[in-house]
Chains A and B, each alone.
Chain A
Amino acid sequence: MREVKVIGVGMTKFSKFLDIGIEELGREACWKAIKDADVHPQDVEVAYCGHVYQGSCVGQRILVELGMTGIPITNVENACSSGSAALRDAYIAVASGLYDVAMAIGVEKLYGRVQGALAPDKEDLEGDLGLIMPALYAIRARRHMYIYGTTPEQLAKISVKNHRNGCLNPNAQYQKEVTVEEVLNSRMIADPLHLLDCCPIGDGAAAAILCSASVANKYTLKGITLAASTLKTGTVDTGFSDADICTEDLTQRAAAEAYEKAGIGPEDVDLAEVHDCFTIAEILRIENLGLCKPGEGGRMIDEGRTEIGGDLPVNASGGLLAKGHPLGATGIAQVAEIIWHLRGEAGERQVKGSKVGLAHCRGGAVAGTEGATCTVQILKK
C-alpha cells in the first residue's frame, strides 16, 4: 500500500442555512479544498461523498456544479461516520495504487429534515421502542456516574470547554461561551443530559483532496500524511449482560488498528478531534481511545488537560457540541481541523508544535450492538 497525503481541505461554516441548498454547500467546500490543494479539478480521478439524509446521487449533484462528473463517484452512508467512511474509501483508492488523486466530500442538511432528535431507523428494534441518540448516551452517562462517580458538573465542563473553543473557530455553528450553570439549567433532554450537553442540528459541508505521496509535491508542499484510516462496526455485545456499556469495544478496535498502522501509541497523539455528540461521549472516547484510563475522563476535564493549552487538547475546533454536527460533514471537518493545526494554520486555537493528530467518529445505532460504525484517522506531519 502506498503512502497517502492529504493535500487540500475545505469546509463551509456550520450553521442552520434556511436558504442554502446542499449542492451549494458541497460546491463551496469542494472548491475550497481544490484551491487549497492547488489541483486542477480534472486531476481528481475518483470521488466519494458521505451523507445520511440528502437523497439519491448527492455526490453527483454537487460535482456537476464543478464540472467534475464523468469520474467514478460513490455515495457513502454510515450514519455520523459517513464523511470519515468516504475519506477512508478515498484513502484506499489511492493507497491501493488504483488512483493518484481522490476527493472525499462530506455534506449534510439537517435543519428542517430532523424533528425532535436523531434516532436509529424505526425498523430497528430499539428505534421502534423510542430510543433516541440522547437517551442512548444518557443511559451510558448514568452508568459512568454509577461506576466512576463522574458528575453532571464534569459533563457540563466539557460543554463549556468546547463552546469556548468554538469562539476561536470562525466555522463553528456556535461562537458564544456558556457557563457550567447555564449547561445544568438548560432544558433536560434525556436525564442526565441537558440541551447544552447535546450537539445541535445544523448544516454544512467539508472536503479533502488526497493523493499519492509520490505525486503530492507536484501540487503542494503542504501535504500531511494520512498514516491510518480505519473503520469498524459494532458486534452483538450490548445484547449480553456481561458487556460493560461504558466500554466502547468499537472505538478500541478501530483505534488499535489505527495506532498499529501509524506506528504510534496514544501517548504520541498531540491533539484529538473526537466524536463529542454529547458531553459524556467525549469522556467515553478519550478513555476508550486509550488517551486516558477508564474512569479518568472526568478528572481530565477538571484538571484542564484537554484544553487547547493542556497536554492533550481535545476538540480544539469546538467539537460537535459547538462547531456543530452536520452528519456527513463531520468526519472530514475533523480531519480538516487537524490538518490546519499540523500545518500551523489554526489561528487563535493553534495547538503549538503539533505533529500527530487523531480524528475519531462514531455513528449510528443497531439494536444489540454498541454502535454501528467507528472510524479513526491518524495524521502525521
Chain B
Amino acid sequence: MKNKEKSNEKVQGVPFRKGYFTLGEDPCLIGTKCKLCNTIFFPPRVICIRCYKEDVMGKIKLSRKGKLCSYSIVWQNIPRYKSPYVVAYVDLPEGVRVFTHLTDCDPSDLKIGMDVEMVIDFLRKDEDGNDLIGYKFRPVLQGI
C-alpha cells in the first residue's frame, strides 16, 4: 500500500471505466449534475433519478479532495486484487460519496474524517493482461 510518490502523469494503462475520471497531473472524478434539481451524481448518470428525466444531465468535474468516511483493510485473498488492500468511502464536497481504494498510506495513520485527495494508480490487470488504471485516494500530505 505504501508506494513511492509518483506523478499521476507517469501512470500508464487503460482506464478501467471510460468517462469516470480525467487523466493528467491533476486528475479528478467526472460526475453529472442535473440542470433541474442541481443534484450531483457519481458515477455519471444518464437519467436523473430525482427528477426522472433524461436529457437534463451535464458533466461536472468533481473536487480532488474529500474526507474519509470509513475504510477497511482487506486481508482476504480474492482473484482480482492483491491483498492487503484498503477500501474506503470518501465524501466529496459536492455531496457524493465514492467507493474507492486508499493508497500511499500506512493503515495505522488512517483516521475517519481525515483529508484525502484523488490520484490515478494501477488498479489490476484485465483478462488479457493489460494494466487497468483507476482512481484511488491518498491522505493529503501535511505541511504542503
Contacts and interface: CB of A to CB of B under 8 A. Distances in A.
B70 A142 contact: yes
A115 interface: yes
Contact of A238 (B73, B80, B97, B134): B97
Interface in A157-202: 187-193
A112 interface: no
B122 to A, nearest CB: 13
Kindly name the residue among B43, B76, B92 whose own CB sees the greatest number of chain A CB atoms within 10 A. B76
A117 interface: yes
A131 B83 CA distance: 12
A241 B70 CA distance: 11
Contact of B42 (A126, A135, A239, A243): A239
Contacts of B134: 129
B79 interface: yes
Given A126-B99, A129-B87, A240-B97, A139 B70 contact: yes
Given A115-B79, A130-B87, A134-B76, A143 B70 contact: yes
A131 B80 CA distance: 11
B76 A241 contact: no
A193 B75 CA distance: 10
Interface in A212-238: 236, 238
Contacts of A139: 70-72, 87-89
B76 A117 contact: yes
A245 B72 contact: no
B78 A190 contact: no
B70 A245 contact: yes
Contacts of A190: 72-76, 87
B76 A116 contact: yes
A346 interface: no
Interface in A42-97: none
A2 B17 CA distance: 50
A193 B16 CA distance: 29
A141 B92 CA distance: 21
A119 interface: yes
B83 to A, nearest CB: 9
B71 A142 contact: yes
Interface residues of B, number: 36
A253 B140 CA distance: 38
Contacts of A368: 43
Contacts, number: 103
Interface in B28-57: 41-43, 49
A125 interface: yes
Nearest to B82: A130
A271 B34 CA distance: 46
B135 to A, nearest CB: 9
B96 interface: yes
A238 B124 CA distance: 25
A131 B101 CA distance: 10
Contacts of A142: 70-72, 112
Nearest to B31: A239
A240 B96 contact: yes
B76 A191 contact: no
Contacts of B123: 129
A134 B16 CA distance: 23
A192 B134 CA distance: 26
A119 B124 CA distance: 17
A367 B76 contact: no
A241 B92 contact: yes
A193 to B, nearest CB: 8
B49 to A, nearest CB: 6
Given A142-B112, A241-B92, A130 B76 contact: no
Given A132-B74, A143-B70, A236-B49, 7 more contacts: A116-B76, A117-B76, A129-B99, A130-B87, A138-B74, A139-B72, A188-B73
23 contacts: A116-B79, A125-B17, A125-B43, A129-B101, A130-B74, A130-B101, A130-B124, A131-B87, A132-B74, A132-B78, A138-B74, A139-B87, A142-B70, A142-B72, A143-B69, A146-B112, A189-B75, A189-B76, A190-B87, A191-B107, A236-B49, A238-B97, A241-B92
Interface of B: 16-17, 41-43, 49, 69-81, 85, 87-89, 91-92, 95-97, 99-101, 107, 112, 123-124, 134
